[in-house]
């Protein structure tokens, strides 16, 4: 793997982790939305996962409520707003958030 690829993967992982944390989502919730194991998603956040499909990038933008530009570190990519705290309205369990996300019902 080249230095440029390593840098891209590390940046993607860092931004995914930051955004997931902003939204108070659990790794297993994001992993399920991407149809990958929690272990594979953990590797993605650490910049170690080498393969991610275009469909999974789209799924990431949906669940993390941000743009692909932001996740990929492209110029002009904005982090995005933090939406209303719906999981607190649903009893305070971030795991219930998955049922409230677009396309998960």
Amino acid 36: pLDDT: 94
Query: What's the mean per-residue pLDDT of the chain?
Result: 79
> What predicted TM-score, i.e. pTM, was given to this entire model?
0.71
Residues of the chain with pLDDT under 70: 50, 75-105
Domain spans in the chain, listed from the N-terminal domain onward = 3-76
- Helices 38-45 & 27-34, crossing angle to 10 degrees? 110
Give the pair of three-digit tokens for residue 35. 């149809």
Rounded to an integer, what distance in angstroms lies between the CA atom of residue 48 and that of residue 44?
Answer: 6
For 3-76, CATH number?
A: 1.10.260.40
> Computed over its alpha carbons, how large is the radius of gyration of the chain?
13
Amino acid 17: pLDDT: 96
In order of 9, 48, 68, the CA distances from 79 in angstroms are 17, 22, 10
């Amino acid at each position: 793997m080249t230095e440029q690829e390593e840098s891209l993967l590390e940046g993607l992982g860092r931004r995914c982790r930051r955004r997931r944390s902003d939204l108070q989502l659990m790794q297993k919730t994001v992993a399920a939305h991407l149809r990958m194991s929690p272990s594979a998603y953990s590797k993605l956040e650490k910049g170690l996962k080498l393969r991610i499909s275009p469909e999974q990038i789209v799924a990431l933008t949906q669940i993390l409520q941000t743009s692909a530009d932001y996740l990929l570190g492209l110029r002009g990519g904005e982090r995005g707003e933090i939406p209303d705290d719906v999981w607190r309205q649903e009893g305070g369990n971030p795991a219930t958030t998955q049922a409230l996300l677009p396309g998960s019902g």
